[in-house]
Structure 1
Amino acid sequence: MTDIPRRTASRTAKLAGIPLGVAGRAAAGFGRRLTGGDRDEISAQLAAKSAEQLFAVLGELKGGAMKFGQALSVFEAAVPDEFAEPYREALTQLQSAAPPMPMTDVDFMLTQQFGRSWKARFTEFDETPAASASIGQVHRAVWQDGREVAVKVQYPGAEEALRSDLRQLGRMSRILQPLVPGMEVRPLVAELRDRMEEELDYRDEATYQREFAAVYEGDPEVKIPRVVASAPKAVVTEWVQGRPLASIIRDGTRDERDHAGERLARFHYSAPDRAQLLHADPHPGNFGILDDGRLLVLDFGAVARLPDGMPAELVTMTKLSLERRGGDLMALMRAAGFVVDGTRIDPEQIISYLAPFTEPLETEEFRFTRRWIQAQAERVGDLRNPEASIGRSLNLPPKFLLVHRVTMGTLGILCQLDARVRLREIVAEWQPEMFESDAPTG
């Protein structure tokens, strides 16, 4: 069995080394500039090296550190190419791979969860993990009734490692911020801390997956593997394998990119209405495309319950922004708690600020590109731009935080895919009220 306290101390030391490394490289870069080096070139080199260290450490440590890296990976498309290119491959690896735990630990965990005779439940069990992720790894096996299954086993000590990682990352958020321009690190860490606590009990994940699978049973566009057995730190599901979205992002054809984007968008916008649930871990490692064209959806550890479907406030905000009804939009946002008390915002500027959510809905077909989302991030992150100040006047009520992050994450994946999607048509199918005209007549 792994020595948990010693390993946790080692993790903390490695995480602590990230800001020290960033600071050391910054000092070296300052010295090189003093001796006549090109400022922009040196800055780009420093950012690339710091990013490489960050994502290498996050991938090695798994737990909350890797989960943080996976969350960042969705927003990789928003990072300017000169910074993103050096570590794009590291980000992709974070989505589905991490160093595996030894079989002795797997046996220890499965004995805890299913008893000493756990092997009798299977006719075959591959000791080499098929995938390793943030808090658990997956083994391919054959269930006692002959079905091929995926056995997801939580890492021993995952709870301690997760809490330690997120505490450390919270302290580091300010120094990590420059590595991901256009994205706020501190709120992301805070939200991950809350959500990861929920992901530690695989029985909750199994419940969510069963509910999703029942709703999408026989669906021609989406495949959710069925749950076979579950325990607090292990879950067994049907084995279903598709082409990973990361592969399509890397070298998919135009048709494959567009098809994957369309399937992902339909799943994201249909789930709140069909299942009253929202898959809340949108990174490419959790999705694939089957040979028959269906979207394969995996990992239901993070799920938001939406008993009334997509929150009406968010739907109406998008509708008012599309209709350029700035006054009504501001009134709604103040009433719903989106605007900091005592601040004044130009209604036209807030409409422009919401462009990432509205531009893709203004045409019959929209092409999501890295260049587009980079421009959005630069626009709201450039302190010389009046719109940048709007962010300091806005507040995201906690009940909308997860939906907002999932929507932004989905948009990020669509941009990584460089997909052309008829998003207006998809949203109109599941949120028709967004496009029904109720503007007052003059």
Structure 2
Amino acid sequence: MAEETDRPRRREGSLPGSAFARGAKLASLPVGFAGRTALGMGRRLGGAPADAVLTEVQRRTAEQIFSVLGQLKGGAMKFGQAMSIFEAALPDEIAGPYRETLTKLQDAAPPMPPSVVHRALATHLGDDWRELLVEIDDEPAAAASIGQVHRGRWHDGREVAVKIQYPGAAKALRSDLKQLARLSRMFGVVAPGLDVKPLIAELQDRVNEELDYQLEAASQQAFHEAYADDPVVSVPAVVHASDAVLVTEWMNSKGSLAGIIKDGTKDERDHYGELYVRFLLEGPRRAGLMHADPHPGNFRVLPDGRMGVVDFGAVAQLPDGLPPAIGPLLRSAIDGDAEAVSEGLRDEGFLRPGTSIDADVLAAYIGPFVEPATVDRFTFSREWLRSQTQRLGTPGSEGFSTSMRINLPPEYLLIHRVWLGGVGVLCQLGATAPFTAILEENIPGFAAADA
């Protein structure tokens, strides 16, 4: 639709929405939050129950947050996708009203116009780009935080997915994340048990990697080769790559795990939940890499029952596999060896020098994290995850006090993200999986015989 002539025209080739408009939308969040807080205090003074007031503030804040994030790309969209993984940890009365908005963040964003798409292709593939890409659909097949995907045909006849980075994505990504970092207190009201500061900091630290499509191409090709003959997981081959355009083989799918979360049968939830967690944990062993963007939109449901995996912009480089201390630590926690857990965490840098935590208290804190590995088959659920979040996020609780003294070493940042994010998605699925067996297959030193 043509723009009205009396409106300021957006500079063609930039992200939808000017920097001013994007900033204004994000800036509206704390203003609305302040108003809701004041209104809530007024209701509280008027005699309304404290719990009811807090729930209402949370609900209204959540509605505004995800409405705004859903209209934006860049860092706002990336953050929204990351947050959506943890939806299962929120109380149902809070999560319910905007669950659909959250899942939409996993698969969709406003598209670029065709003229911008063609200009980007000419810039990154050359003026003769139509000789390489002989067909391309102007309507995107998918759109996300920093790029959108078009279906096309390569000159050799292969159907391909053409991922094109939004012009101006780098600037928007950095600007959004910087502004979101200032709003962490407000996000804490929506999800008191989730500390978003480390999440935003990690996204900021990995901006350059996320924007480098050649680096992503190398990671995707490594996964493709590692899974070339796999009977249940498919990773498309890379066809061509430049800094901001990535061409891969097309993969026909029926949707993503977001659809299974919403409408899947119990059998589908269990099947794809098992494939999902197996892929996340076996990547370091098979490819020397860990896929580190575990939100459901990156995992596709294929017609033959296999799972397809896309978007390798965030990966953990683990050429020697997972850190060797993980397996023995998990085994010690399951066996109830509090001293070994405490000593192992200190050796790995999870406890800073001078930090003192009673070994039994620390073991009790770690215990629920490994609960899924204490039985042959564990059923992940929103209720279970909410209980863990409340245990760790309630000020004054022993779990909260302990978590405040735990340090996260840099080499574990992405592993931690995948572990928590993966558990969040499994809880959204409500999947029952042989979690213990999967750990034994993929984490050296975890199996009882290895201990």
TM-score (norm 2): 0.94
Paired amino acid for 2:273: G
1:73 aligns with 84
In the alignment, the residues of structure 2 paired with residue 35 and residue 366 of structure 1 have an alpha-carbon distance, to the nearest angstrom, of: 46
Q: Give yes or no for the alignment of 1:8 onto 2:45.
A: no
Aligned amino acid, residue 268 of structure 1: L
Which residue number corresponds to residue 429 of structure 1?
Answer: 441
Task: Select the residue among 241, 266, 287 that pairs with 1:230.
Answer: 241
Deviation at 1:47, TM superposition (A): 1.1
CA distance in 2, matches of 1:437, 1:201: 42
- Between stretches 337-346 and 16-25, larger displacement belongs to 337-346
| 2: CA distance, partners of 1:38 / 1:3 | 48
Aligned to 1:418: 430
- Measured in 2, the distance between the counterparts of 1:304 and 1:88 equals 29
- Of 331, 345, 361, the residue aligned with 2:373 is 361
Identity of aligned residues (%): 50
Q: Which moved more, 1:316-325 or 1:151-160?
A: 316-325
Q: CA RMSD in A?
A: 1.6
Counterparts of 1:309 and 1:67, CA distance in 2: 27
Instruction: For residue 139 of structure 1, give the secondary structure of its aligned residue in structure 2.
Output: strand
Q: CA deviation digits over 1:300-354, x for unaligned, max 9?
A: 0001110111111222221211111111111121122111332221222222222
Query: What secondary structure does 1:46 align onto?
Result: helix
- Contact 1:320–1:328 (CA<8 Å) still a contact in 2? yes
Shift of 1:276: 0.9
Match of 1:400 among 405, 409, 412: 412
Q: Equivalent residue for 1:297?
A: 309
Aligned counterpart, 1:141: 152
Counterpart pick for 1:106 among 92, 114, 117: 117
Give the Cα–Cα distance (whole angstroms) in 2 for the partners of residues 3 and 82 of structure 1: 38
The partner residue of 2:70 within 43, 48, 59 is 59
Mapping 1:23-422, distance limit 5 Å: 23-242=34-253, 243-422=255-434
Other structure's SS at 2:303 match: coil
Residue identity in the other structure for 1:401? L
Give, in angstroms, the shift of residue 407 of structure 1: 0.9
SS in 2 for 1:241: coil
SS of the aligned residue for 2:18 comes to helix
What CA distance in whole angstroms lies between the structure 1 residues aligned with 2:348 and 2:444? 22
What one-letter code is carried by the residue in structure 1 that aligns with 2:133? F
Kindly provide the CA deviation profile for residues 142-168 of structure 1, in whole angstroms up to 9, marking residues without a partner as x: 222222111100001001101101111
> Alignment partner of 1:434: what SS?
coil
CA-to-partner distance for each residue in 1:352-372, whole Å, 9 max, x for gaps? Answer: 222343111100000000000
The code of the aligned residue for 1:382 comes to T
Per-residue CA shift, 1:25-73, capped at 9, x if unaligned? 1111222333344443332222112111111211211111111111111
Query: Letter of the aligned partner of 2:34 in structure 1?
Result: A
SS in 2 for 1:237: strand
Give the structure with the larger helix fraction. Answer: 1
Cα gap change, 1:97 to 1:3, in 2 (>3 Å): closer
Query: Alignment partner of 1:334: what SS?
Result: helix
Q: Tell me if the contact between 1:69 and 1:91 (Cα under 8 Å) persists in the aligned partners.
A: yes
- Cα deviation code 1:252-307 (max 9, x no counterpart): 11100000111011111111111110000000000022122211101000011101
Query: For residues 38 and 395 of structure 2, what CA distance do their matches in structure 1 show?
Result: 25
- In 2, are the aligned partners of 1:19 and 1:176 still within 8 Å (CA)? no
- Rounded Cα–Cα distance in structure 2 between residues aligned with 1:356 and 1:182: 15
Point out where structure 1 has 5 or more consecutive residues left out of the alignment.
none
Report deviation, 1:17.
1.1
Aligned 8 A contact 1:174 1:186 in 2: no
Q: Is the CA contact (8 Å cut-off) linking 1:136 and 1:154 kept in structure 2? A: yes
2:157 is paired with a residue whose SS is coil
Q: Any conservation in 2 of the 1:279–1:302 contact (CA below 8 Å)?
A: yes
**Greater shift after overlay, 236-245 or 147-156?**
236-245
Q: Secondary structure at the match of 1:354?
A: helix
Partners of 1:190 and 1:359 lie apart in 2 by: 29
The one-letter code sitting in structure 1 at the alignment partner of 2:174 is R
Q: Tell me the distance in 2 between the aligned counterparts of 1:2 and 1:215.
A: 37
